[in-house]
Amino acid sequence: MKLILSIEAIHPPLAGIGRYAWELATRAPLHREIESIQFMSDGRWTSLPSIEEVSGSTQRLDIQTESNQVPEPIQLNYKGRIHRALVQFPGEMRRRLGRIPLVSYAYGKIMPQVVSGQLNKVKEGIFHGPNYFVPKTHLPTVLTIHDLSIYRFPNWHPKARVERMRETIPASLQRTNLVLTDSEAIRQELMQEFDFPAERIKTVLLGVDQIYYPRTVEELHPVLHRFGLSVNAYSLFVSTIEPRKNLQNLIAAYRALPAATRQRWPLVLVGGTGWESDAIHADILRAESEGWLKYLGFVEQSVLPQLYAGCRLFTYPSWYEGFGLPIAEAMASGVPVLTSNTSSMPEVANGAALLVDPADRDDIRRALQRGLEDDCWRAQAIELGLQRAAQLSWDACVNNTVAAYQSVSAMRS
């Protein structure tokens, strides 16, 4: 079969939806059922960026037209000229511009028409939109919905994004042949929120990269030494610093631990600055001044496996997740996990983690203490976590996704 994959989400730093799209883009061409694959980004045919580009060594993903792809028309109408102006900005600048209501509105109105125009020239193939959007097209389509936080918690997003996505998601659901979700929890939410037919939603669990695995002290020492850390001597949090991740309750719960516990196992935070994070950073600075928290900021992908594998406990009491890749990455690294009892997180942990009420700081504190000090539970959690992580592979994700493409082809034939 011929596949057209939208890859706007692939940009540095490679995480979340970008990681998902990258794994599909790099693995699907190797699948025996995929005859050919074309990539589209912002309504233009493009080549897949290199791993160096998406790892953050450059902020610009150059748009190129390959000889085996449909060329962009030379003559542009006014919508085409506006579209070209928008996509000429580097990725990070484009994302910031997207928070401006007028720019977001223009993008949301023009982009679907540009994508549809390009696809109208394609005779056959399946279009997969891995980031909440599929256009009007004569081609069969598959749509991935990662979560419904735009509806459940709109205050976590810029207003312009909420308004645009609340138009994009329902329209895409009406157009698509099949929806994929990262977890059964989100599949159930989708059916409830939109009264969407169950037979047109398929859960395809995400995977864990093979770079995450238990490591020896000798393997860990060089990276941990660089950050002033020691093996088995810190708790870890990895994600963007933003309200959705519930860091303020995590920090407050950690502060409530005995001083000796905090000093023995300080809390280490890894992640770039996200939206509406000023209050969180104020809490981080206060805890750093008290000597029991270390904020590393954004770190390159190459050192994350060592930071995971070297920690005493991985902490992830997020308010809401569509999947929660860091949970799976920590389990694969052979460390115990604490996470929330909401949305997809119990499903991903599958009995291998301590589950907490993310709104209950005392519940989080008790779980932190157990996760750090209960050696019997820790040994069991490590074993169960490794077993669960082994069930989550990107190869399985891609195989199940290709099976979804085949089911759509069967529907249309």
Condensed to tens digits (0 to 9), the pLDDT of residues 297-347 reads 999 989 999 999 999 999 999 999 999 999 999 999 999 999 999 999 999
Out of 12-16, 42-46, 173-177, 272-276, least confident range: 12-16
Model pLDDT for residues 118-132, shown as the tens digit of each residue: 999 999 999 999 999
Out of 84-98, 272-286, 337-351, 354-368, least confident range: 84-98
Q: Where do we find the tokens 């395809």?
A: 204
Out of 71-75, 300-304, 359-363, least confident range: 71-75
Beta carbons of 13 and 272 less than 8 angstroms apart: yes
Residue type for 303, please?
Answer: V
pLDDT at residue number 89:
47
Considering only residues 100 and 245, tell me which one the structure prediction assigns the higher pLDDT.
Answer: 245
Percent of the chain whose predicted confidence (pLDDT) is above 90: 78
pLDDT at residue number 413:
63
Res. 100: pLDDT tops 50: yes
pLDDT at residue number 92:
53
Res. 94: pLDDT tops 60: no
pLDDT at residue number 113:
85
Domain with CATH 3.40.50.2000 in the chain: 2-206+394-412, 217-390
Give the residue among 35, 9, 16 at the shortest CA–CA distance from 94. Answer: 9
**CA 16 to chain CA mean position, Å:** 1
Q: What is the DSSP letter of 350?
A: T
CA dist 168 and 148 (Å) reads 12
Mean pLDDT of 216-226: 98
Give the residue among 257, 281, 261 at the shortest CA–CA distance from 271. Answer: 281
Q: What is the 3-state secondary structure (H, E, C) of 58-92?
A: CCCCCCCCCCCCCCCCCCCCHHHHHHHHHHCCCHH
pLDDT at residue number 200:
97
Q: Is the peptide bond before 243 cis (omega within 30 degrees of 0)?
A: no
HSE (side-chain half, CA atoms, 13 Å) at 275: 13
**Helices 375-390, 325-332: crossing angle, 10 deg rounding:** 110
Beta carbons of 219 and 404 less than 8 angstroms apart: no
Model pLDDT for residues 137-166, shown as the tens digit of each residue: 999 999 999 999 999 999 999 898 999 999
Three-state DSSP class for residue 42:
coil
- CA dihedral sign of residues 362, 363, 368, 369: positive
Mean pLDDT for the chain?
Answer: 90
pLDDT at residue number 107:
63
Mean pLDDT of 174-197: 98
Write out the H or E segment, with its range, that includes residue 399.
Answer: helix 394-412
Contacts 24+ apart (CB under 8 A), 20-25: 20/130, 20/144, 20/146, 20/182, 20/206, 21/130, 21/131, 22/54, 23/207, 23/394, 23/397, 23/398, 24/128, 24/130, 24/397, 24/398, 24/401
Q: What is the DSSP letter of 313?
A: E
pLDDT at residue number 390:
98
Q: How many residues does the chain have?
A: 413
Contacts 24+ apart (CB under 8 A), 72-75: 72/44, 72/45, 72/118
Give the domain 2-206+394-412 fold. Answer: Rossmann fold (3.40.50)
pLDDT at residue number 97:
56
CA dist 340 and 256 (Å) reads 18
- CA dihedral sign of residues 392, 394, 400, 401: positive
Q: What is the 3-state secondary structure (H, E, C) of 253-308?
A: HHHCCCHHHHHHCCEEEECCECCCCHHHHHHHHHHHHHCCEEEEECCCHHHHHHHH
pLDDT band at 112 (very low <50, low <70, confident <90, very high): confident
Work out the number of other CB atoms within 10 angstroms of the CB of residue 360. 15
**Six token digits for residue 95:** 């994302």
Out of 105-114, 194-203, 232-241, 338-347, least confident range: 105-114
pLDDT at residue number 54:
85
Beta carbons of 377 and 371 less than 8 angstroms apart: yes
At the fourth CATH level, the homologous superfamily of domain 217-390 is Glycogen Phosphorylase B; (3.40.50.2000)
Out of 82-91, 117-126, 206-215, 262-271, least confident range: 82-91
**Six token digits for residue 136:** 């009007």
**Six token digits for residue 218:** 């000798």
pLDDT band at 58 (very low <50, low <70, confident <90, very high): very low
